[in-house]
Amino acid sequence: MLMRFVIALFFASLAANVAFVLRDPSWWVFPAMLVGWYGADLLSGAVHMYMDYRPCVTGVGLDRLYFYGGSRESQEYQTMFRSAMKRINPLERLVYDFKNHHPRPDALGRRGVVRLIGSTVLAGALPLSLLMNAAAVMFPVPGWAIAAMVALLLGGAFAQYFHGTLHRADNVWIVRVMRQTGLLMTPAAHQLHHDTLKRDFSTNCGWSNPLLNRVFKIAYERQWLRDEGLEPVG
C-alpha cells in the first residue's frame, strides 16, 4: 500500500512538471525530451553495468540460492530465500536480483510493474521530481529544461519495467509502438548483452550503448570490473 502511494505521488508530481512545461511551450521541448530520454538510457546502462559486476555480499547463502538445483517454488528454497534476504540491505538485494536474472531472464518478465519500478521511484525519481516542482515554482526554469527532466524521470523510473518487457512475449500496445519508433529497444538487441555480459548494458532504447561499451572496455581492461563479480560466491 505504501509503495502504491509513493508511485501515485510520483505521477502527481510529474503531472505538475508537465503543467510547468505547458506554461512555457517552445519547439526546444522536443529535442530536450530526446536528450532526457538518452540520459535515462545512459543511466539504465550504467546502473546495469555496476550491478552486474558488483560482488554480492558473502556469508549469507546467496550462492546457494543462485545455484539451487530444485524447484524455486519449494518450501526449502523459499525458506532459504527469506532467510538470506533478511540478512542483506536493499542495495544488496538489487545486486543479487540483477545477477539472478541472467540465467533466468524470464523471471524478470513475470514481475509486476509496482515491484519493478517501486524502488527506483522511491530512491530517485520521486525526490528529483519534487525538486523540479520546487525549482519551477521558485525560479524561471525554461519549459524545455523541465521537459528534459520529465523524459529523464519517466525513462529512469520505468527502466527496470522496460527491461522486464524485453523478457516477456506479450506487452501492452504502448511498448510495441515505442519499439517500432526506436524509443525502446527490441529483445533481439538486448540479447546481445545476454550473449556475452560484456556489452550493451542499456535497457531502454539502447542509444547510449556505443558510449557505454567503450566505458566498459576501459573498466574491464583495468580490472575495475571483474568476472568474479558476475555470480555470488560463498
Question: Per residue of the chain (234 residues), what is the pLDDT tens digit?
Answer: 788 899 999 999 999 999 999 999 999 999 999 999 999 999 999 999 999 999 999 989 999 999 988 888 899 999 998 999 999 998 898 889 889 888 888 888 888 888 889 889 988 999 999 999 999 999 999 999 999 999 999 999 999 999 999 999 899 999 999 999 999 999 999 999 999 999 999 999 999 999 999 999 999 999 999 999 999 987
pLDDT attached to residue 188: 95
Separation between Cα atoms, residue 151 and residue 14, nearest integer Å? 10
Helices 90-100 & 29-53 angle (0-180, nearest 10): 90
**Taking each helix axis from N to C terminus, what angle separates 143-157 and 113-120, rounded to the nearest 10 degrees?**
130
> DSSP state, 29?
H
CA dihedral of 229, 219, 90, 87, whole degrees rounded to 10: 30
Reported as a single tens digit per residue, the pLDDT across 195-209 is 999 999 999 999 999
Which residues fall within 8 angstroms of residue 201, CB to CB, at 6 or more apart?
Answer: 44, 45, 46, 48, 49, 52, 193, 209, 212, 216
Q: Which domain holds residue 185?
A: 2-230
C-alpha to C-alpha distance for 32 and 199, rounded to whole angstroms: 27
| DSSP 8-class letter at 229 | G
Residue in 110, 125, 116, 92 with CA at minimum distance from that of residue 6: 125
Place of cell 538518452: 38
pLDDT, residue 94, reads 87
Q: Greatest CA separation found in the chain?
A: 59
Classify residue 14 by burial, with Cβ atoms within 10 Å: 0-12, 13-18, 19+: buried
**Residue 110 pLDDT:** 84
Write out pLDDT tens, residues 33-86.
Answer: 999 999 999 999 999 999 999 999 998 999 999 998 888 889 999 999 899 999
- CA 136 to CA 179: how far, in whole Å? 32
Q: How far is Cα 38 from Cα 17, in angstroms, rounded to an integer? A: 19
Number of domains in the chain: 1
**pLDDT of the residue at 194:** 95
